[in-house]
Amino acid sequence: MTEYEALKLYDEYLNGEGDIDVMGISFTSSEILKELDPTAYNCGFADFCDTENIEIED
């Protein structure tokens, strides 16, 4: 699987609970995590790939 496809699956997983509303503006969980803590986002992505047995194509 390409990294793009795996990231799309990871974002879908993170966004599974629906959008988060802040003063009338909606954000997805993946957007928030990517922006506020990119290290946690990337570590979570690696864990997600391990758990789901996803191998990224070179």
Domain residue spans in the chain?
A: 3-51
By 3-state DSSP, what share of the chain in percent is helix, strand and coil, each rounded to 5?
65, 10, 25
- pLDDT, one tens digit for every residue, the chain (58 residues): 999 999 999 999 999 999 999 999 999 999 999 999 999 999 999 999 999 999 999 7
pTM metric for this prediction: 0.89
Q: What is the per-residue pLDDT for 58?
A: 75
Q: What is the per-residue pLDDT for 9?
A: 97
Tokens of 11: 């974002």
Sign of CA dihedral 51, 19, 39, 37: negative
